[in-house]
Amino acid sequence: MTKATENKSFISKFFDTLGQIFKPILPIMIGGGLLQALRDILLMTGVIEKVSSSYIFLNALGDAVFYFLPIYLAFTSAKVFGASPFMAAATAGFLLYPEVTKLFEWAKNVGWSLTLFGKIPVTYSRYPSSVLPIILIVLFQSKVEPFVEKHSPKILKTILVPLVTMFITGIAGLIIIGPIGTWIGNLINTLITFLNERSAWLVPTLMGAFTPLLVMTGAHYSIIPIVAQNLAQLGYDTVMLPGNLASNIALAGACFAVAIKTKRVNYKGVATSAGITAVFGISQSALYGVAVPLKKPLIYSMIGGGVAGFIAGITQIKAYSMVTPGLLSLISYVSAEAGMANLIFAIVSALVAFVLAFILTWVFGFDDLKEEDSQENVTGE
């Protein structure tokens, strides 16, 4: 096996692992994001007030998903890494324990240095809504747990395995692994902030243009931790979700142009349905059913997505929750603090993506599929 093949294999496994960790919790993240958007709409329209029990309850309903995100990630990570999901969730619960969280905040505010057993320094970390620390901690647990199980007397395994595993994992997570994960997360956010300050247009443009290629390689799941980290630490995302929205809507525009222009009657239905699903943020049908087989629409959609991503970047559109990047995700650009301008710019970006990809596909055309190829796309055979 060549070095290039080994590297490719490692990268592929890395993306697959991230996908397996995040896929099961995407529905609740989307639900939580939509609930946060609903909260803001009710606040903006005067249905509820910020200083009210209704606001507190609705805010908690959506925000709880992200506050306790480490627990869900611990559970799914444990399944991926081969560790006990419940022990992993218990460790995450320890890091989110109210007294621990309050202690960290108090020590930070007064400048107090925390220690364990009076000698071991404990670095300040904020674990609610965090992503990387718990994944690294559970990875460590997956190495500790089988070692403890192997060396524990059979009669005492039921007691020793959870006791020793949770103690070692919890303490190591608190003093070493958790702070490392926090440091990596902060480094990523610092890099994103740097790019936003120097070239705010760059990342959304790249995401708008190249998201289809990320989806084709499965690498699109690798950006979920970055988005989750942005939402947790900044309260919004300006670099990933706006670009993803531009990309999906551009694919939809290209598909609808193909549906109108293709001479293959059967293929019109394929392109239309693919365009509809892309509008709602599901791009695979548009990619594999239309853009990739026809090739040129893929290029046109990447151009449309790139231009729309550029607009999203220079206007600094903010997505306030994680929702599948499509028409319904426009609700995630609504915020009581940002006002309507943010939503308007998001709509403009989406319209540019759709119209530009549609016009390019319509004007410059594409090489239509042969009859048998279009029939294969219809039947899926």
- Amino acid 139: pLDDT: 95
Determine, yes or no, domain membership for 3. Answer: no
Q: What percent of the chain has pLDDT over 90?
A: 35
Among the listed ranges 15-29, 59-73, 164-178, 318-332, which one has the minimum average pLDDT value? 15-29
Out of 199, 228, 253, pick the residue that ends a domain: 199
Residue 116 main-chain phi, psi, to 5 deg: -115, 130
The letter for the amino acid at 244 is N
Q: Please, which pLDDT band fits residue 12 given cuts at 50, 70 and 90?
A: low
User: Rounded CA gap, 282 and 62, in Å?
Assistant: 23
Out of 173, 199, 225, pick the residue that ends a domain: 199
Q: Please, which pLDDT band fits residue 380 given cuts at 50, 70 and 90?
A: very low
The model's pTM is: 0.69
Are 229 and 135 in a shared domain? Answer: no
Structural domain that includes position 219: 202-379
Q: Please, which pLDDT band fits residue 1 given cuts at 50, 70 and 90?
A: very low
Are 36 and 126 in a shared domain? Answer: yes
Mean local confidence (pLDDT), 336-351: 88
- Amino acid 221: pLDDT: 67
The string over 52-88, giving b where at least 16 C-beta atoms fall within 10 Å of a residue's C-beta and e elsewhere, is: eeeeeebbeebbebbbbbbbbbbbbbbbbbebbbebb
Residue 290 has pLDDT above 90, yes or no: no
Are 100 and 24 in a shared domain? Answer: yes
Q: Please, which pLDDT band fits residue 289 given cuts at 50, 70 and 90?
A: confident
Residue 94 has pLDDT above 50, yes or no: yes
Angle at 345 between CA 342 and CA 350, to 5 degrees: 125
User: Rounded CA gap, 321 and 7, in Å?
Assistant: 34
Determine, yes or no, domain membership for 5. Answer: no
The count of structural domains within the chain is: 2
- Amino acid 107: pLDDT: 86
The string over 133-166, giving b where at least 16 C-beta atoms fall within 10 Å of a residue's C-beta and e elsewhere, is: bbbbbbbbbbebbeebeeebeeeeeeeebbebbb
Determine, yes or no, domain membership for 35. Answer: yes
Out of 199, 233, 257, pick the residue that ends a domain: 199
